[in-house]
Amino acid sequence: MKTILITPKDKAEYTFLTALLKKMNIPNTVLTNEQKEEMGMVMLMKKADKTKTVSRNTIMKKLQ
């Protein structure tokens, strides 16, 4: 099954949509900001070039 992700523009719209989904008996899940960020990171990681390797020294220099 496909997923639809909806971001309401304000609290009133959020309340309306959640009430509508409940009335229509449509299962739904509310994501926290942290969960949305994690999903974004996963999408970026999937797109990353995994064919190249980087030395430990290069990584440590970037972290400092």
Looking up tokens 């994501």, which residue turns up?
Answer: 31
Whether residue 2 is contained in a domain is answered as: no
Looking up tokens 């997923």, which residue turns up?
Answer: 3
Whether residue 23 is contained in a domain is answered as: yes
- Structure confidence by residue, pLDDT tens digits, 13-31: 999 999 999 999 999 999 9
Whether residue 4 is contained in a domain is answered as: no
As a whole number, the mean pLDDT across the chain is: 92
Is the pLDDT score of 38 beyond 90? yes
Q: 18 is in which domain, residue-wise?
A: 11-63
Task: Provide the H-helix boundaries in the chain.
Answer: 11-23, 33-47, 56-63
* Number of domains forming the structure of the chain: 1
Whether residue 3 is contained in a domain is answered as: no
Whether residue 37 is contained in a domain is answered as: yes
pTM: 0.59
